Amino acid sequence: MQLVADTSASFLSNVFRYKMIQKTGAIWIDCDAFCHKPFPDDLEYIFGVHGLLGALNCGVVALPQECELMDQLLDYYDNLPDYPPWWNKNQRRKYDRLDEKMSHGARIYKAERTAFGPQAFTYFAKQTGQFEKAMERDVLYPVPFQLNDIFYDPYGNVEGHFTENTLSVHLYTNGTKPWWEKHVPMPGSYAARMCDQIGIDPSKALK
For 95-153, write each residue's pLDDT tens digit. Answer: 999 999 988 988 999 999 899 999 999 999 999 999 999 999 999 999 999 999 999 99
Alpha-carbon distance 137 to 179, whole Å? 27
Distance CA 72, CA 184 (A): 41
CA pair distance 196, 153, nearest whole angstrom: 16
d(CA 77, CA 144): 27
Average pLDDT over residues 61-86: 95
Q: What is the pLDDT of residue 176?
A: 86
Classify residue 101 by its DSSP letter.
Answer: T
Secondary structure letter of residue 98 according to DSSP: S
Tell me how far apart the alpha carbons of residues 128 and 112 are, in angstroms, rounded to a whole number.
Answer: 23
- Residue 54: pLDDT over 90: no
What's the rounded Cα separation, in Å, for the pair 198 and 103? 42
Q: How far apart are the first and last CA of the chain?
A: 26
Q: Which residues contact 61 (CB under 8 A, 6 or more apart)?
A: 17, 18, 21, 27, 28, 46, 47, 121
Instruction: Output the pLDDT for position 174.
Output: 83
Section 11-29 average pLDDT: 92
3-state percent breakdown (helix, strand, coil) of the chain, nearest 5: 50, 10, 40
Contact 116, 17 (CB under 8 A): no
Does the global pTM surpass 0.85? yes
Q: What Å distances lie between residue 12 and 16, 19, 32, 106, CA to CA?
A: 6, 11, 16, 12
- Whether residue 4 is predicted with pLDDT greater than 70 in this model: the reply is no
